[in-house]
Amino acid sequence: MGLATAFVLIASCGLVSLLRKVIPKEVRIATYILIIATFVTAVDYAIQAISLALYDALGAFIQLIVVNCIILGRAEAHASKNPPLPAMINAAGMSAGFTIGLLALGTVREILGAGTLLGFSLFGPQFQPWVIMLLPPGGFFVLGGWLLLFAWYEKRKQGRLGGEVQHV
């Protein structure tokens, strides 16, 4: 999913940047969506041709990229105002961050939801999987946990920089 998003983000930002001076402001957003939808369709067909099992596993998620705010936001905020190479480098960085985020969420969900990591059992046969982690709400719980961890770390780091003593 991360690689599919990366391809769509990099390719669409490159094309938007190339066409930024040609696209009239009145149809800018519609044009961006059309460009993104074209690359999503290409990825969708490529995944289906390469691996039907992967295509079945990803299901509708590939099509959801079309409305992904990250892609549209980057096209509007950066690619439409910069030359192609910087726009594509920025898109690659955003893609890497998105992929790392997906891996962080997916890893925690797999460990807690199935007791495995990359198919290897981590806790033995007595482990009781947390079924909630395999369901959509599990993704929100994990995201909330990651956000709490990063907020705690940032607050702790600011305390150190300010000379305050942190009691944990």
Q: What angle do CA 97, 49, 39 make, to 5 degrees?
A: 45
All residues at 6 or more sequence positions from 2 whose CB lies less than 8 Å from its CB, including other chains: 95, 98, 99, 102, 103
**Over its length of 168 residues, how does the chain's per-residue pLDDT go in tens digits?**
788 888 888 998 899 899 989 988 877 777 887 888 888 888 888 888 988 888 777 777 776 766 565 677 677 777 888 899 988 898 888 889 888 988 999 999 999 998 999 889 888 888 999 999 988 788 889 989 998 999 999 999 888 776 555 565
Q: Which pLDDT value is given to residue 57?
A: 78
Q: Which pLDDT value is given to residue 138?
A: 87
Q: With a threshold of 0.85, does the pTM exceed it?
A: no
The amino acid at residue 101 is G
Give helix 28-50 / helix 2-19 axis angle, nearest 10°.
140
Report the alpha-carbon distance of residue 66 to residue 61 in Å, rounded. Answer: 10
Q: Which pLDDT value is given to residue 167?
A: 60
- How far does Cα 16 stand from its chain's mean position? 20
Pick from 88, 96, 92, 89: which is nearest to 2 by CA?
96
Report the alpha-carbon distance of residue 23 to residue 44 in Å, rounded. Answer: 26
- How far does Cα 44 stand from its chain's mean position? 17
